[in-house]
Amino acid sequence: MINDKMAKALNEQINEELYSSYLYLAMSAWFESQNLPGFAAWMKVQAREEHAHALKFFEFIHECRGRVVLQAIQEPAREWKSPLAAFEAALKHEQHITGRMDKLMNLALAEKDYATAGLLQWFVKEQVEEEASADRIVQMLKMAANAPGALLMLDHQMGERK
């Protein structure tokens, strides 16, 4: 069983994960408009991963006999100044999600809800990877800024993500 307070907090996280998916899909669409299909494909994979995160919480709440309540998803931005600006926004967003996971973990431990804490441990670890991959791309885009052709090479490389 899951208590109401914890279920409410996990429901809010479903919304955050769906928003993450929506944000990265918006970034994918923007990269398409910039003729960078590799970056667009990478973001589409990322959007799918965030959707899977939402489902992980969705299924967990049901497994614990809680109630899932879906709420409106906020509209994401449409434009970014540059590929670097988009990935800086993605990194900032992941840092925000990491902060949310920490708060959820604090709540789970305060409520002595060790089942939820177990699920959250997976997400805490996942966030380390999420921040690292966004940061790596930010750094590569910074290096590419002064090297003609580097952005296109990077685009090709990004497109290989499955």
Per CB under 5 A, residues contacting Fe ion are 17, 50, 53, 130
Q: How many Cβ atoms from other residues are within 10 Å of residue 68's Cβ?
A: 14
Six-digit token string for 134:
């966004």
* Residue 56: CB minimum distance to Fe ion, A: 9
Nearer to Fe ion, 28 or 151 (CB): 28
Six-digit token string for 161:
């993500």
Nearer to Fe ion, 44 or 53 (CB): 53
Cα angle for residues 11, 92, 138 (degrees, 5° grid)? 135
User: What is the DSSP secondary structure assignment for residue 76, as one 8-state letter?
Assistant: P
Six-digit token string for 33:
């408009």
Nearer to Fe ion, 103 or 156 (CB): 103
Helix axes of 83-110 and 37-63: crossing angle, nearest 10 degrees: 10
* Residue 29: CB minimum distance to Fe ion, A: 18
Q: Which residue is nearest to Fe ion (CB)?
A: 53
* Residue 90: CB minimum distance to Fe ion, A: 8
CA–CA gap between residue 15 and residue 1 (Å, rounded): 21
* Residue 130: CB minimum distance to Fe ion, A: 4
Nearer to Fe ion, 97 or 107 (CB): 97
